[in-house]
Amino acid sequence: MPNRVGQQLGYYRLLRLLGSGAFAEVYLGEHIHLKKQAAVKVLRTQLSKDEAENFRREAQTLARLENPHIILMEYAPNGTLRQLHPSKTTVPLPTILAYVKQIAEALYYAHTNHVIHRDVKPENMLLGRQQELLLSDFGIATVTQSTQASNPHSIAGTAVYMAPEQINGKPRPASDQYALAVIVYEWLVGAPPFQGSFIEISTQHLMTSPPHPRSRIPTIPVLVERVVLTALSKEPESRFGNISAFANAMENAYLATQHPTPKPMPRPARPA
């Protein structure tokens, strides 16, 4: 695909290439009159019918979602959480809670609009102009009540963060909760619960219980570990009722460690 830097598409002049994917490139563009910057996604000239349908589906999905923590095509200049927190690094628990709250808000909104993201990962979490967190890349999202918008039985996503039912081609809103729990686990201990090849990771998601986070980092609060492991349950029904419940449980577990219930004072011994 030719480099389009300097070209004008519609009212936007393309300033520089931000990234490229399987069927499109994303440029930083500036409106020629308003001088407002935006991310401009440009389709590759040679697209299969399925690729073109994927692009249309993403546009339709985004058009339905309007939430302060869901990015449409605005330009997020401060990079991703993967860049801010590279692999093999841990993140302080209060910071994790702030991230989870914002991403859960975005996902809960998507789920109430019958959209499953299916590719929740740090690379798709962007930092906005005010350091707010933005969830991006709804390119493989599933519309839960429509079999025409996508094939819900296809396997799509990133293996490290993929829920068992998603591996089996049956994603549901709880699949996004599982993915977010994998990310929290990774931020807590510095590595995801399962690693290896696609097949190895997928098999572990399906068959193997994740190592307890405290077995790697003993200082992780017990209640926080319990919440994460609940969200990582193999069966979707065993997880929290929705993504907001998971975020609330994380916050409550943390607060309980900051303000533990005081132990009752022992009764004084009775005089003989």
Q: Catalytic amino acids? A: 119
What are the residues whose beta carbons fall under 8 Å from the beta carbon of 79, sequence distance 6 or more?
126, 127
Q: What are phi and psi of 142, to 5 degrees?
A: -105, 130
d(CA 167, CA 26): 29
Task: Round to whole Å and give the CA distance between 136 and 152.
Answer: 20
| Alpha helices by DSSP H, the chain | 49-64, 81-84, 93-112, 164-167, 173-189, 198-207, 213-216, 222-231, 243-258
Other beta carbons within 10 angstroms of residue 148's beta carbon come to 8
Do the Cβ atoms of 104 and 243 come closer than 8 Å?
A: yes
